[in-house]
Amino acid sequence: MIKKRIFLLIGFVFLNLHAQNHWQAPSEARQLQNPLNGVEAVWQKGQKIFNSLCASCHGQDGTGNPVMLKTLNPPPADLTSQTVQQQTDGEIFWKITEGRGLMASYKNMLTEEERWAVVKYIRRLKKNKPKKQTGKITANDNEVEAFSFSQLINAKTTFIRQTGGFGFGIQHRFGATKFDKNMLKNFFGLDLASNIRFSFEIPLTSKLMVDIGRTRYGKFYDLGVKYLLIKQSQNNRKPVSIAFYENVAVTTENPPPYSANATFAGGRPFQYQFKHRLYYDTQLIVSCKFSHRFSAQLAAELLWRNLTPASPPGEKAYVLAVPVSLRYKTGLKSAVDLEIMPTTHRHTFPVSLAYEIASSGNHVFQITVTNSDRILAQNLFFNTTLNYPQDGFMLGFNLIRYF
């Protein structure tokens, strides 16, 4: 009797082990159709999810994280393998939905659409798989984006949208507020004068984009061009992305009042001309995605203006800056951003913090805390910033949407 039970038990365990090796989706799953098309936006969405939820076990390239391959039993499947790739989208979708053992069920963690997007991305992994035989790696092999938007808090990033379309942005800064009795009275600065910039950006090629903007303070219209020189690759052949950015802004504000006998510094009689309205921003930006959560960038930036005010004394035509931007993803759709921008201007040191809510592949919303209400770099770097915490801070938000 006992023997029989033991045999049954062994048989059951054996059957179970056997089943472990062949994870078969039910035949209904095979028929499920992927509702998404294999367009770039879908692929990018799938990549984001994959890198943040799946790569820890399956590896960024889908072949399996070496540590997990050794420690997990059964090991994470090689998603680029024949066994997986010959399954229908429906079968892979079903497995992600249901899970088995150490491979969790993503039914509640991801929407159906998100799961289908990951399936699309898994198909791409096969295509991107480095060809080991030749040792050759194609140029666009798993390029890495350190940032998903071309604008961080105040800094431009190396990002250029690869899927065409256009982007629309709103950057808004409220008035200065600090922790005192007036804070509620002026409702955290929201009642005070505020600055706003509207902008459009248009990618022309995968390496080139233009952006145009209009800012309230200074009544600036600005036109920028960004060119991507190098794009970071996953295999670390190119460890960083590098972009060049040039922006020209024209102020349409009335010229400052000056007396008839005003002169330039050299003594020539002063006359306000169109060129005096122009401000330039030139920068070289280097960015790096260090992990799926952490990205950083560093820029070398020169701001130039054609007209330097005589007062306060010591003002120069230029300012040099080395902005540092850090982004740490706290979740699939949230992140914390920090920008620190040392400059050669005595009274200008922008430091900003932002919390990103509901950021997705084509939309980001940031709540910002800054020490200047200037937005355009040409305006920001020539103006005094507040000293935290005694001077207070400015609340604001950034919103970018890609269409």
Which residues here bind ligand HEC, judged by CB under 6 A? 20, 23, 53-54, 56-58, 72, 74, 76-77, 83-84, 92, 95-96, 100-103, 106, 118
127-139 as b/e, with b when 16 or more CB fall inside 10 Å? ebbbeeeeeeeee
Q: Give me the count of residues in the chain.
A: 403
Identify which of residues 96 and 394 has a Cβ nearer to ligand HEC in the complex: 96
- Angstrom distances, CA of residue 263 to CA of 23, 232, 310, 315: 84, 51, 10, 16
- Angstrom distances, CA of residue 285 to CA of 64, 105, 281: 33, 41, 12
Identify which of residues 31 and 83 has a Cβ nearer to ligand HEC in the complex: 83
Concatenated DSSP letters of 221-263: EEEEEEEEEE--BTTSSS-SEEEEEEEEEEE-SPPPP--TT-B
What's the min distance (Å) between Cβ of 72 and ligand HEC?
A: 5
Concatenated DSSP letters of 129-158: S--TTT----TTTTB--S-SSSB-SSSB-S
Identify which of residues 119 and 296 has a Cβ nearer to ligand HEC in the complex: 119
Can you say whether residue 162 is alpha, beta or left, with left for phi > 0 and alpha for psi between -120 and 50 degrees? Answer: alpha
What's the min distance (Å) between Cβ of 360 and ligand HEC?
A: 16
What's the min distance (Å) between Cβ of 105 and ligand HEC?
A: 10
Identify which of residues 118 and 155 has a Cβ nearer to ligand HEC in the complex: 118
What's the min distance (Å) between Cβ of 37 and ligand HEC?
A: 19
Identify which of residues 77 and 248 has a Cβ nearer to ligand HEC in the complex: 77
What's the min distance (Å) between Cβ of 16 and ligand HEC?
A: 11
What's the min distance (Å) between Cβ of 15 and ligand HEC?
A: 15
Concatenated DSSP letters of 10-60: HHHHHHHHHHHH-----HHHHHPPP-S---HHHHHHHHHHIIIIIHHHH-T
Contact status, residue 348 vs residue 381, Cβ threshold 8 Å = yes
What's the min distance (Å) between Cβ of 234 and ligand HEC?
A: 17
Identify which of residues 93 and 149 has a Cβ nearer to ligand HEC in the complex: 93
Identify which of residues 29 and 144 has a Cβ nearer to ligand HEC in the complex: 29
Cβ neighbours for 142, distance < 8 A, ≥ 6 positions apart: 60, 61, 128, 233, 234, 235
Identify which of residues 102 and 229 has a Cβ nearer to ligand HEC in the complex: 102
The SS3 call for residue 73 is coil
∠ Cα 362 298 366 (to 5°): 35
What's the min distance (Å) between Cβ of 73 and ligand HEC?
A: 8
What's the min distance (Å) between Cβ of 98 and ligand HEC?
A: 10
* Beta carbons within 10 angstroms of residue 307's beta carbon: 17
Identify which of residues 84 and 376 has a Cβ nearer to ligand HEC in the complex: 84
